[in-house]
Structure 1
Amino acid sequence: MPRPLLLVLTLTLVAASAVLVTARPSTAAGPALAAFQHPGVLVDKAQLDFARQQVQAGAQPQTAAYDAMKASSYAALSYTPKPRAIVECGSNSNPNYGCSDERNDALAAYTHALLWYFTRDDRYAKKSIQIMDAWSAVLRDHTNSNAPLQTGWSGASFSRAGELIKHTYGGPWAQRGRFETMLRDVYLPEVRNGAGCKNGNWELIMTDAAIGIAVFLDDHAAFDKAVGIWRGRLPGYVYETTDGSYPKAPSTCPSKDTRDEIIAYWQGQSTFSNGLAQETCRDFGHTGWGLTAATHVAETAYHQGVDLYAEAGKRLTDGFYFHARLETGTATPSNLCGGTVKKGLGAVTEIVYNHYNNRLGQQMPTTLRYTESQRPAGANYFYAWETLTHADNPR
């Protein structure tokens, strides 16, 4: 064999070997890893195996969480999907032409994928596939004002379901390519470029879907785009005093470049402290969506070797602490939202608590107290069964 050809083959083999090495999470900017880890959308195999072992041993809180999932309507083997070609969702899902059906079906597909993994009963895998196939056979578009948000809600759950079935189920999925095409051509274009100057939960939920779809499709460009959107949005959603005297504008909303514009965008709040969110004075429900979507993106990126948790610094933990302390009894100060807040953060703290406490050893007693009060976390819009998958799970 001529020496130049031998050299080329050697270098090719070395490069191929490098692709197979799983890197530790890094905070370095730059392209995504050359090879994605699968399964790796929100949960990875080590986490799933740990949680499964806990359930088999009857350990808590995983067993109670598993029992709640198994008893839910999403887990029924008789579950019937309700797909449609055009999902039309206006503000507050009014009109609601397929909006609730699509969200529920996506959550059901993910629920059955989890049940497959925990039970190894292939009836659950087949049901998850049936739901995904039903939608990929007919869905063509999302329309009306809530289309980007609706796409984010449903795309986040569908990408998790598809990821688990694709990478853990050895049985047939004849229409997998059609499902991949649906995520690539119908969902990803709607969510990949962010939400501009909409309230921040929109963009973070859309980015949650975008990064999940990117990993599922092995789409490095889409992954990098999602990470970039997250890096530009989080400082525009959760304030830290290091940002200056008032919050930054999100990178997708550069038009808000004065203090008055920022105050108006932050629901009229003019006094800023660590952990305050752009939607705090709107209500804690939407704020919880934004915070947990930000955490979902960080968790998926972590499984792919990009440590957005480290990049966030105190921003994520302060954001959850700020709201959890008010949920757990701290009086609302008079300079916050006129002295009145609308509580209802939701069961959104399992993943952030697990990372910073169980992986890193950071003490978060207020967030823990709130987290325990919400267990077992159920399923809602775009998040599901996170006590089962992430509670006390250091993997």
Structure 2
Amino acid sequence: MKVHRSVAVVVSLLASLTVPAATVPSATAAPAAFTHPGVLVSRPQLDFMRAKVNAGAQPWKSAYDAMRGTAYASLTRTAKPRAVVECGPYSNPNLGCTDERQDALAAYTLSLIWYVTRDARYAQKAIQIMDAWSATIRDHTNSNAPLQTAWAGSSWPRAAEIIKYTYTGWPNANRFATMLRTVYLPEIQNGRANTNGNWELSMMEAPLGIAVFIEDKAAYDKAVGIFRTRMPAYVYLTTDGSLPKTPPGSGIDTRAEIISYWHDQSTFVDGLSQETCRDFAHTGYGIAAAAHFAETARHQGQDIWGEIKDRMRHALGLHTKYENGDPVPSWLCGGSKSRELGPTTEVGYNALSTRLGIPMANTQKYTEQHRPQGTDNLFIAWETLTHAQNPS
């Protein structure tokens, strides 16, 4: 598994161009009343998914069957909670990191199966896993603690929202909410400006989902505020100027620093990501986290998609173009790339193409050729099932 590390930015005293940091726009207020379930998937989306699966329609039925065939769907799964999850660089040490992420994904998987089948055993197993962790975990430590917390913290509220609001009988739901508020939220809610962008985008996705579940308007607004400055600093548009925007508070101010931060890429085009020339896998994590964020906000009545649609359509189009086989030009990442975008396009493609009607030929080709999109075993799971052609 690839593990992200913070970018060490070397200040160049020789650089002559200073680029002002992005200003922080005010956050639109959280909704007067939160919508549940409303983290990544809504009740109308779940109903659409359920109807398609039960009708045997494709690609939802094959996506559902693939999900059911994984260990995440097992009714005999034993949770492996730890009081302290310690995650170092490159998962060394890995003390509960994989276990936590996979238990959170299992809880989400089981909640989706519950919704489709109405078989209470799956809801009860999801509850059992969530209860085991909420009774045990107290902290995340070591250098990858923020990212680990964000990944697990993105999956937990998806599962919790479905179970709490569609299944009757979760006595420890409040304890789980307390876990999210006291163990997860403090680790991630302030972001991390000088990291690679996928870190902070995941660190905003998780607080937004947690804020919805615990109905915390201040936490919601804080996540939106940081997201609104990070997204323009992660995906470039030519309208930004000759150089990309920079994350406020990062200390990345000069041309030399920006090029270093963008992994030595000095030619900027619409849709280029801060991590494109690192690799497409990490770029995919950032794109997916941004899509998840916008989708959750949409369920809460806020049009983040309208704010980021141009960055997202260009980012998806650029990266899927090369994933689909187009040769990489010499000016881009030295003319080489890795084909590791992964199961990251369904939510963005559905929002932009299905709902907004934006033509996305490259993204469509990639998405359809990679169905059913499964899980990356980190924080992305079953998005062909939940979002393919989903109009809700």
Q: TM-score, normalised by structure 1?
A: 0.91
Describe the SS at the equivalent of 1:320. helix
What count of residue pairs does the alignment treat as equivalent?
367
- Secondary structure of the residue aligned to 1:87 is strand
1:177 Cα deviation from its structure 2 partner: 1.4
From 270, 276, 279, the counterpart of 1:274: 270
Aligned equivalent of 2:155: 157
| CA deviation string 1:145-201 (max 9, x = no partner) | 00000000101001111111111111x212111111110000001111111200000
Distance 1:257 1:152 in 2: 27
- Residue 193 of structure 2 aligns with which residue? 196
Give the number of the structure whose residues are more often helix, by fraction. Answer: 1
Aligned to 2:121: 123
What's the CA shift for 1:251?
A: 2.5
Structure 2 spans left out of the alignment, 5+ residues? 1-24
Q: Distance in 1 between matches of 2:370 and 2:90?
A: 25
Separation of aligned partners in 2, 1:111 and 1:270: 42
Contact in 1 for aligned 2:52/2:60 (Cα 8 Å): yes
1:356 to partner: Cα distance: 1.0
> Partners in 1 of 2:89 and 2:58 — Cα distance?
40
Partner residue of 1:213 out of 202, 210, 214: 210
Q: State which of 43, 46, 49 in structure 1 corresponds to 2:47.
A: 49
Aligned to 1:315: 311
- Whichever of the two has the greater Rg, that structure is 1
Partner of 1:174: helix, strand, or coil?
coil
How far apart in 1 are the matches of 2:360 and 2:123?
Answer: 37
Q: Which runs of 4+ in 1 moved over 6 A?
A: none
Aligned to 2:269, the other structure's residue is in SS state coil
Residue in structure 2 matched with residue 10 of structure 1 by the alignment = none
Match of 1:4 in 2: none
Quote how far apart the aligned CAs of 1:29 are. Answer: 4.9
The reply on whether 1:231 has 2:225 as its aligned counterpart is: no
Give the letter for the 2:154 counterpart.
Answer: A
Matched, 1:359 2:364: no
- Kept in 1: contact 2:26–2:225 (CA 8 A): no
Tell me, yes or no, if the aligned pair for 1:232 and 1:252 is still in contact at 8 Å.
no
Are the aligned partners of 1:61 and 1:376 in contact in 2 as well (CA < 8 Å)? Answer: yes
Query: Map of 1:11-50 to 2, 5 A cutoff?
Result: 29-50=27-48
Measure how far apart 1:313 and its partner are: 3.5
Q: Label 1:366 to 1:228 Cα distance change in 2 as closer, same or farther (>3 A).
A: same
- Written as runs of structure 1 = structure 2, the 5 A alignment for 1:89-104 is 89-104=87-102
Q: Distance in 2 between matches of 1:393 and 1:301?
A: 17
Counterparts of 1:313 and 1:350 in 2: how far apart (Å)? Answer: 14
2:327 paired residue number: 331
Distance in 2 of aligned mates of 1:374 and 1:228: 33
Equivalent pair of 2:197/2:274 in contact (CA under 8 Å): yes
Cα deviation, residue 28, structure 1: 9.5
The answer as to whether partners of 1:277 and 1:319 remain within 8 angstroms in 2 is yes
Mapped to 1, the partners of 2:237 and 2:386 lie a distance apart of 30
Shift of 1:252: 4.3
SS at match of 1:285: helix
Q: Is 1:88 aligned to 2:86, yes or no?
A: yes
Deviation at residue 92 of structure 1 after TM alignment = 1.6
Using the size of structure 2 for normalisation, the TM-score is 0.92
Partner of 2:9: none
Contact 1:274 / 1:318 at 8 angstroms: preserved in 2?
A: yes
Using the TM superposition, name which of 179-188 and 372-381 deviates more: 372-381
CA distance in 2, matches of 1:89, 1:29: 32
* 1:324-369 Cα distance to aligned partner (Å, 9 max, x none): 0000011101011111112210010001110111111111111011
Work out whether residues 233 and 252 of structure 1, in 8 Å CA contact, stay in contact via their aligned partners in 2. no
Partner of 1:132: 130
| Gap change, CA 1:388 and 1:202, over 3 Å in 2 | same
Task: Identify if the C-alpha distance between structure 1 residues 28 and 140 changes in structure 2 by more than 3 Å, giving closer, same or farther.
Answer: closer
Percent of counterpart pairs with the same letter? 60
Other-structure match for 2:20: none
Distance in 2, matches of 1:372 and 1:319, equals: 17
CA displacement, residues 13-34 of structure 1 (integer Å, 9 cap, x when unaligned): xxxxxxxxxxxxxx99521110
The answer to whether the 8 Å contact 1:229/1:251 transfers is no
Q: Distance in 1 between matches of 2:164 and 2:218?
A: 21
Amino acid at match of 2:328: T
| In 1: Cα distance, 2:338 partner to 2:52 partner | 36
C-alpha RMSD of matched pairs (Å): 1.1
